[in-house]
A and B are shown apart, each in its own frame.
Chain A
């Protein structure tokens, strides 16, 4: 990754462009770009206001409450927190192997989560960018525009999302705040009628997921030069893999590769993740910067999520997705596998894998079994790691003899990707903002780079009237030269 635009030598002489917060990205983020009088980019930083209250919210609670309450940390991926916490607390209970029914129910829930999250991201958050072009009128670059131009695409996106939510409801027991996964196992299996209900539509979901892979592949073919170059940078990566090296989004060992593709560690026991990963702090950002200890803070930055998982696994254990993975890796001599927009293609391959996994699990009789819980010898510390839709998610707890959580540490996917997102934004700024007028269309390029990672920032707070996009240009003397706000009611330009 590149750091040369991280800190300018003489920032006091530069003009500041701020985007606050980044629209169409959950939560609050801010991009600042310092330009000189000739509009040359000198410094680019993505500031993410990381929520710091996770630990306080969890500490002091009895451990059995944790898998349910952590869902309230994030309204975007509650199931990911539900499962990561459950896995950590399995370890606290000394459970090394779940019953077959429990593991498959959790895998089914997780596949439902991947399906619905990836469907939302591709069809509704990113498809306007991809289908209409990066520089198009922002007013048309929304899902209404997609519906008008590609009605079937938008409708399939809604129905894929809905199907994933139904998988979650039937495995977690409730539509929201599910309780299905508990320390040591699950509290329900799939009822015969639930299984039949999900089986009715799963083949359609697999077919639509295949079509989605075709859509993004076609977009790459049509826009090869732009897609390959957009925000491109080389990066180390990390993900979980199965014992045979295959993709496994629910469980496995940690695999890490450096920027050259050389393996740093493989099948590493995530129960001691702190032996290989540390978190750096920078004075200009609230969010930490994780890195591989063996490489240090700069060379050790890495990215997680669909692009890392699809490019670093040895295979995908469902046939259609694995075939698409091979096509992706071979495309244009492997160029898409290194592109920031390759995240979208990889994400759709994973969505297909999730749909295929749901189909396979629904045909497995273990999913209706009655052995739901396992037991073991009580431990003090537990770590749970899953591959959430946005990347590796770590939950780490210590529980005292009174069954209270006394320490909690969470490293969420967006934190792992902090440096990678900063680098992508810098590359885009270097490509598109150097020496040109700062227009809304150009600022959209920065949002598109961030959105490729599907970041989930400060989670779950929302209210009517929030989430505006504010753009401010501030001169070297601190004077606001121009300012505008865009929220769900439209764009309001403020005359300064």
Chain B
């Protein structure tokens, strides 16, 4: 059974702040368990976004992508995203906009409404823990996600 809401975080849990995406999902699952009124939510993680993740969007009503970002203003940015053609289509790590474009191309339809929650990150070294700033940003991002659930319901 596909849930109408998908929360998808990605990153490498062992590379410092790159863990923000999967860590967010881990915390969000605990948060959602305390909010049954949010309804059924599927939560997924992966190392990187790739073409097959377009198939995870099928049958959704709303999708929240979550990633670590060096570009986002701290503590996070949250923005609606649209399908876009970019050069990440031919890399091992695609942008969420490019995944939406793959969905549109192979599914002959518009992707569901999608947002990108980009959490400000600082360090990406293998074996390093989450930075102090990233921990604070993660907490703020979780609050933003709760607001997003309410605002997009």
Residues on A close to B: CB < 8 A?
23-24, 26, 51, 53, 56-57, 69, 72-73, 75-76, 78, 116, 120, 124-125, 128, 138, 141-144, 147-148, 151, 154-155, 157-158, 161-162, 165, 175-177, 456, 460-467, 469, 486-490
Confirm or deny: B114 has a beta carbon within 8 angstroms of a beta carbon on chain A. no
B49-85 contacts to A, CB under 8 A, are 50-52, 54-55, 67-72, 85
Q: Which residue in chain B gives the minimum CB-CB distance to A144?
A: B85
Known: A53-B127, A144-B85. A465 touches B90 (CB 8 A): no
Chain A residues within an 8 Å CB radius of B13: 72, 177
| Candidate in B13, B101, B126 with the most chain A CB atoms within 10 angstroms | B126
Shortest Cβ distance from residue A71 to the other chain B in the assembled complex, whole angstroms = 9
Q: Assess whether B72 is in contact with A464, with CB atoms less than 8 Å apart.
A: yes
Q: Point out the residue from B18, B51, B72, B121 that lies within 8 Å of A143, measured CB to CB.
A: B51
Shortest Cβ distance from residue B109 to the other chain A in the assembled complex, whole angstroms = 13
Q: Assess whether A176 is in contact with B47, with CB atoms less than 8 Å apart.
A: yes
Shortest Cβ distance from residue B12 to the other chain A in the assembled complex, whole angstroms = 4
Given contacts A144-B85, A461-B126, 11 further A-B contacts (CB under 8 A): A26-B92, A76-B47, A120-B92, A124-B89, A143-B90, A158-B52, A175-B45, A460-B12, A462-B11, A464-B70, A488-B95
Quick one: CB contact mask for B1-42 with A, threshold 8 Å, 1 for yes? 000000000011111001000000000000000000000000
Q: Assess whether B67 is in contact with A464, with CB atoms less than 8 Å apart.
A: yes
Known: A75-B48, A175-B44, A465-B69. A143 touches B126 (CB 8 A): no
Q: Which residue in chain B gives the minimum CB-CB distance to A162?
A: B52
Shortest Cβ distance from residue A116 to the other chain B in the assembled complex, whole angstroms = 8
Q: Point out the residue from B91, B101, B124, B125 that lies within 8 Å of A23, measured CB to CB.
A: B91
Known: A23-B91, A72-B15, A488-B86. A464 touches B51 (CB 8 A): no
Q: List 21 A-B contacts (CB under 8 A).
A: A51-B126, A72-B14, A76-B47, A76-B92, A78-B47, A120-B51, A125-B90, A138-B87, A142-B89, A144-B85, A147-B105, A154-B106, A158-B52, A158-B106, A460-B47, A462-B48, A463-B71, A463-B124, A464-B67, A465-B71, A467-B91
Chain A residues within an 8 Å CB radius of B44: 175
Query: Chain A binding site: helix, strand, loop or mixed by DSSP?
Result: mixed
Confirm or deny: B141 has a beta carbon within 8 angstroms of a beta carbon on chain A. no
Confirm or deny: B102 has a beta carbon within 8 angstroms of a beta carbon on chain A. yes
Confirm or deny: B118 has a beta carbon within 8 angstroms of a beta carbon on chain A. yes
Quick one: CB contact mask for B110-153 with A, threshold 8 Å, 1 for yes? 00000000100100111100000000000000000000000000
Q: Assess whether A24 is in contact with B68, with CB atoms less than 8 Å apart.
A: no
Shortest Cβ distance from residue B133 to the other chain A in the assembled complex, whole angstroms = 14
Q: Assess whether A26 is in contact with B93, with CB atoms less than 8 Å apart.
A: yes
Q: Point out the residue from B86, B87, B95, B126 that lies within 8 Å of A53, measured CB to CB.
A: B126
Chain B residues within an 8 Å CB radius of A69: 14
Chain B residues within an 8 Å CB radius of A165: 52
- The docked-state distance in angstroms from the alpha carbon of A307 to that of B95 is 31
